[in-house]
Amino acid sequence: MNQWQNFSKGFIKDNPVFVLFLGLCPTLAVTTSAYNGLGMGLATTFVLVMSNLVVSIIKNLIPGKVRIPTFIVVIASFVTMVEMLTEAFVPDLYEQLGIFIPLIVVNCLVLGRSEAFASKNNIFSSIIDGLGMGLGFAMALTVLGAVREVLGSGSLTLIPDVLEFTLYQGDGMLVFVLAPGAFLALGYLIMLADKVKKKMY
């Protein structure tokens, strides 16, 4: 597998959300708007790249039986770091994402990539894998957030006050902003992604 395939597999072929069904907890909880989805996706990407990097560096030093606890410690450290750094230096972003950042620890996508990829591959491939998977995750969350926001609140927010559109006035279909709407929208998006995937591969 060349590096381009390694990178691009996260978008459609092995998309974490639409194909692998990894990290569904933050996916369903956070995507009430496109901006929230994007922010969560990018924060996850950072943690994913850093933890993949560290795991692939230390992979030969870790006894097999304690590898999962070790990975969790590495991931949790990076998440805590991200949380403290955003709170200190970009408080506005922290305000928006604050409650979601700790959720990254329980995102099985991050642990899944450490276990399935970074612990078996070299450093460079692991970084590329983390980047591709992370951006694929971010894409999926942004699309899901956009669908729910457009149908539920009648607006589309990519960056508040900069890229913000109001599509129609009024309340929209509120169910899409609530939890059941996340499942509905995700179901249809998975069907679409499956169609696209079958066409491409």
Contact footprint for other proteins (CB under 8 A): 32-33, 58-67, 69-70, 73-74, 76-77, 80-81, 84-85, 87-89, 91, 99, 119-120, 152-153, 171-172, 174, 177-178
Q: Which is nearer to other proteins, 19 or 186 (CB)?
A: 186
d(CA 9, CA 2): 11
Q: Which is nearer to other proteins, 14 or 115 (CB)?
A: 115
Contact predicate 126/117, CB 8 Å: yes
Q: Whose structure tokens read 């899944």?
A: 112
Residue-wise DSSP of 7-56: HHTTTTTT-TTTTS--SHHHHHHHTTSHHHHHHHHHHHHHHHHHHHHHHH
Residue 18 C-beta: closest distance to other proteins, Å:
23
Residue 60 C-beta: closest distance to other proteins, Å:
5
Residue 13 C-beta: closest distance to other proteins, Å:
25
C-alpha neighbours within 13 Å on the C-beta side of residue 187? 7
Q: Which is nearer to other proteins, 174 or 192 (CB)?
A: 174
Residue 185 C-beta: closest distance to other proteins, Å:
14
Token output for 59: 């992979």
Q: Which is nearer to other proteins, 164 or 197 (CB)?
A: 164
Residue 173 C-beta: closest distance to other proteins, Å:
10
Q: Which is nearer to other proteins, 38 or 193 (CB)?
A: 38
d(CA 38, CA 141): 6
